[in-house]
Structure 1
């Protein structure tokens, strides 16, 4: 879902604000109806009047307050995500509360229209808005509204040895592996096989560089004996953005393939840990030289692991590299 955040304020698509406004106005009108005509709803769905209409009027009053909250929240859905969450819970409980008596023949089937207008039509858009809220509030917000170009990022980001990425890639091939958060079972799987990944890079004349989302130095708690590998700290994920790696969608992060591979990874002993980084950030792997990307593997799902042999196979041929401006290292010519 496209949105951008700048100076702590997130701009959202207009339809999100319109949905919250419409839902708010609907609940306010429903409250007026329930308060002034408390028995009419029961007549329409074909069940007996309540013994205490005042109770139904009280429910109407609460829905009216909720409607006002939705109208106010429509001005900034990202900031008012708690109200969006409350609305989604209300619609979910309303659907369950309607479906159960309908299935048990306690309410006539003709009351389904009320289920539709009161809960069903709101559930899906509220779920999408809430997911956008999760994406907006997860991780450290970037300092720039526009992402760095690759060249700008190479000049601004430093490796753990103090060199800029541009300096480190000058006449040298870098195999850059962008990690998900350190608590992710797939990141743990990568770190378990880090020695093999480093060997594969060395055999092709490349230096391995790990890019992570923690503050510089904090990653050593997870790398253990592999702390000698060059690293780049990117807590705001601006280097990720420059390399074309964004936040994952729902299926990319929680799709069937991710669950299946995750179960296998955990079964192998990789386990899971606490969230250490942006849990929505997608990973990837790149070959980088002289400030340019010459081969890339952008993950299609959170479970995709770096495949360095395929990454090196994707290097352009010698004549292609010369014509495209991507010089190859001496080891590969």
Structure 2
């Protein structure tokens, strides 16, 4: 795989980041609301649950780092979340439900990963396509 070592490093870092972010969100689920000057959540377990989900993504990214040749689908789901999350947050901001300061979530959770995840998907696509080609087909 082209740039294999780079992809392993990126997904290893993404795994560590997500695991630490998830742990921090579980330990201090009000941090974003304090940071953005928002009222505290009356159900902080909801944000802690978000942290759990993001932490679980860290396990998936660790698997991509371990076996980059087989990680296309996991990375594609990860990138999709990193695109859809900011779209949802922009909706909240445009409706005035959340302040622009909450974009801090997207800086480290999403935007910084767009280019390296996209590069990985570009490099991994030919192998993924060959793996899932129908028997007897030319493999695209």
Shorter-chain TM-score category? Answer: 0.7 to 0.9
> Paired residue for 2:108?
117
2:138 is matched with which residue? Answer: 277
**CA apart distance, 1:17:** 0.9
Residue equivalent to 2:93: 102
Flag structure 2 segments of 5+ consecutive residues without an equivalent.
Answer: none
Quick check: which has more Rg, 1 or 2?
1
- Aligned pair count reads 137
- Superposition RMSD in Å: 2.1
Match of 2:83 in 1: 92
What is the TM-score with the length of structure 2 in the denominator? Answer: 0.84
CA distance in 2, matches of 1:99, 1:91: 13
Alpha-carbon distance, 1:103 to partner: 2.3
Q: Which is richer in helix?
A: 2
- What is the CA deviation profile of residues 114-147 of structure 1, one whole-angstrom value per residue up to 9, with x for unaligned ones? 211111111222122122222122237xxxxxxx
Query: Whole-Å Cα distance in 2 between the matches of residues 16 and 116 of structure 1?
Result: 20
Higher relative contact order (CA 8 A, sep 6+): 2
Which string of whole-angstrom CA distances, capped at 9 and with x for unpartnered residues, describes residues 249-303 of structure 1?
xxxxxxxxxxxxxxxxxxxxxxxxxxx5232xxxxxxxxxxxxxxxxxxxxxxxx
Higher strand share: 1
Q: Secondary structure at the match of 1:106?
A: coil
Is 2:68 the partner of 1:77? yes
Displacement after TM superposition at 1:94 (Å) = 1.0
Task: Measure how far apart 1:14 and its partner are.
Answer: 1.3
CA distance in 2, matches of 1:31, 1:77: 23
- Counterpart contact for 2:64–2:74, Cα < 8 Å: yes
State the 1:23 CA deviation.
0.9
Cα distance in structure 2, aligned partners of 1:99 and 1:124: 20
Give distance in 2, aligned partners of 1:57 and 1:113: 17
Q: Distance in 2 between matches of 1:59 and 1:139?
A: 35
Question: Does residue 1:64 correspond to 2:55, yes or no?
Answer: yes
Matches within 5 A, 1:292-331: none
- For 1:35, the equivalent position in structure 2 comes to 26
